[in-house]
Amino acid sequence: MTIPVFYSISDDFTKYAAVSLNSLIKHASSDKDYTVYFLSQDLSKAHQQDLRNLGTNNVHIDFLTIDDQIVAPIQNRQENYLRADFFTMSIFYRLFIPDLFPQYDKAIYIDSDTIVNDDIAKLYETELDNNLFAACTDSSIQYVAKMVAYIKDVLALDPKTYINSGMLILNCKAFREEGFISHFMKLLEQYHFDCIAPDQDYLNEICDGRILHLDPKWDAMPNDNTEPLEHPSLIHYNLFFKPWHFTNIQYEQYFWASAKETKFYPELQAELDNYTDSEREIDRHKLDFMLTKEDKTIKDPHNWAQVKKQGPVTL
């Protein structure tokens, strides 16, 4: 039996993905078999080889190019912008994993801006029962008043159970049997919901009531409002404050420990050294810009909350 793990990346994110992959391999059990897939539309042959070179006897690296036709209905429209900032198709790839890989009844997905600090097989062993997926509550937004208001008033969900999609254990069998993708595409094309985190919002909405919530150590995020977890199993450098752009970031030591073991370390160190204070200031204001979307969407008569009053949108 192989344990399938998926990343979705664009070519310019390869160096961060390599750091994450290196950390995953470092903590993989020698008596288990893993296959790590990278989903992309633009991953260069050179970068594929860089990632493949990190593989071991029991951690195999593979690639899938996402066909344009598969994601054609997901248009470059403002309501599909990540964090109200820019459009990136790669955030949607995770939703297609169950259909693209029918050989798997269960799979793990993790974002590329992560560090794995424990054996990923422990996640795979999670019993999902009738849940569509397992994930962790999004801890990065619990102290952001406008995000809490967005989840409550725009999405009509409980902020305490709103999950972050940067780490998912997918019940692939249930996704396929219940036609998740068809339902997602229908909602996307019919309503064009204006979202702050499009893939994440749709997962929370469609699967509401059938999400298994995991220990927060499996999606630990830097947060100035809380003390760092002592033994995080998976670290997710969510939102804007990345260790390759900022210093004194919570959990940054784990990133650099893994980065130093990859060929990309000099490039990553140079990126940090050359990132200017003005660029950092822009990043700080991106959060404020993202939160202005709450002001707009709360007044939208066709937002999630208003549509849900007319009937359920879940599976």
Tens-digit pLDDT string for the chain (315 aa): 899 999 999 999 999 999 999 999 999 999 999 999 999 989 999 999 999 999 999 999 999 998 776 666 555 444 443 343 433 567 788 999 999 999 999 999 999 999 999 999 999 999 999 999 999 999 988 888 888 999 999 999 999 999 999 999 999 999 999 999 999 888 888 887 888 888 899 999 999 999 999 999 999 999 888 899 999 999 999 887 799 999 999 999 999 999 999 999 999 999 999 999 999 998 887 777 777 777 788 888 888 899 998 877 766
Q: How would you classify residue 34: left for phi > 0, otherwise alpha for psi between -120 and 50, otherwise beta?
A: beta
CATH assignment at residue 146: 3.90.550.10
pLDDT of residue 284: 83
Kindly tell me the burial class for residue 252, based on how many C-beta atoms sit within 10 Å of its own C-beta (0-12, 13-18, 19 or more). buried
Position 314 in a domain: no
Are residues 193 and 79 in contact, defined by beta-carbon separation less than 8 angstroms?
A: yes
Indicate the number of domains in the chain: 1
Residues in the chain: 315
pLDDT of residue 190: 85
Please report the DSSP string for 197-259 in residue order.
SHHHHHHHHHTTT-EEEPPGGGGB---TTSPPPSS-SEEE--TT--TTT-SS-TTHHHHHHHH
Domain with 56 in it: 2-308
pLDDT of residue 83: 40
Helical axes 45-52 vs 14-26, angle rounded to 10°: 20
Position 65 in a domain: yes
Long-range CB contact pairs, 178-182, < 8 A, 24+: 178/132, 178/315, 179/315, 180/95, 180/98, 180/132, 180/206, 180/315, 181/95, 181/96, 181/98, 181/99
Position 315 in a domain: no
Position 10 in a domain: yes
pLDDT of residue 106: 98
pLDDT of residue 30: 96
CA angle 120, 33, 262 (to 5 degrees): 65
Kindly tell me the burial class for residue 277, based on how many C-beta atoms sit within 10 Å of its own C-beta (0-12, 13-18, 19 or more). exposed
pLDDT of residue 77: 43
Strand (E) or helix (H) holding 38: strand 33-40
pTM over 0.85: yes
Position 109 in a domain: yes
Provide the sign of the torsion angle of the four alpha carbons 212, 10, 195, 225, taken in this order: positive
